[in-house]
Amino acid sequence: GYKDPRRTVYFIPSEFEGIPYAGIRVSVVKPALGKEGRKYSGVRITPTDPVLWMNAAEVAFLKAEAKAVFGFNMGAGSAEDFYNEGIRLSFAQHGVSGENDYINNATDRPDSYVDPAGLNSYPTLLSQVTIKWDDAASKTVKQERILIQKWIANFNLGNEAWADHRRTGFPHFMPATDAGNKSDGAVSSTFGVRRMRYPLAEYSNNGANVNAAVSNLLKGKDSMSTRLWWDCNPAV
């Protein structure tokens, strides 16, 4: 929906006629690669690409959130300055132009998801937030706007996106389908996995400490649906 210029760097074009880029919805039963599955956009990455741990854009978005949402003193600069800096740094990182037009785009919003194979569409709009900063917006909208752009800039940093989503609920994600939820009811299709279970090796090699952690920190249940202490907003 944002017509993001970074798509050319992030993705391989799809094989669906007339559709330049087509994502495949997660937490669904995916089509076989030999048929429709191969037509979706692939990730543009090679075996020699560096593994990203943290980028400069993320630092700017962290400062924007700290200033706009929590009122922290982040030194010289407004939340809008830090937010725009995050976008510019991401565009520069990937060698993409058009950042000024993107920053000032107050029209485009995220689209609903239409599966080009007609399998797992999700017609509900997940967000109404545009790109351009709005200083008159509520703290909630400011946080959503920042975290959507942080999520885009942090492409391929899945753990960071997952942590932000659990912490704030942003960006909004599509729920799992009934068939795509493989947890046998242990995990909500709406809220998704909240943590990883301790591996069996930990129970074998470090059982006393694992059991103490499960008892004291996880309220007695080592489950993927158990929220961590900082994942404390029950609405998201």
148 exposed, middle or buried (CB, 10 Å; 0-12, 13-18, 19+)? buried
State the chain's mean pLDDT as an integer. Answer: 95
What is the predicted pLDDT for the residue at 218? 87
**Residues 174-191 pLDDT 10s:** 999 999 999 999 999 999
Q: Which of 8-14's residues contact partners 24+ apart within 8 Å by CB, and which partners?
A: 8/96, 9/44, 9/94, 9/95, 9/96, 10/43, 10/44, 10/94, 10/155, 11/41, 11/42, 11/43, 11/44, 12/41, 12/42, 12/43, 12/44, 13/41, 14/39, 14/40, 14/41, 14/116
Angle at 165 between CA 163 and CA 170, to 5 degrees: 145
What is the predicted pLDDT for the residue at 182? 92
- Cβ neighbors of 142 (< 8 A, separation 6 or more) are 68, 69, 79, 134
Give phi and psi for 16, each to the nearest 5: -80, 130
Beta pairing partners, 113: 122
Model-level pTM?
A: 0.93
What is the predicted pLDDT for the residue at 35? 83
- Rounded CA-CA distance 114/156 in Å is 22
**Residues 42-63 pLDDT 10s:** 999 999 988 889 999 999 999 9
Those residues of the chain that have pLDDT short of 50 are: none
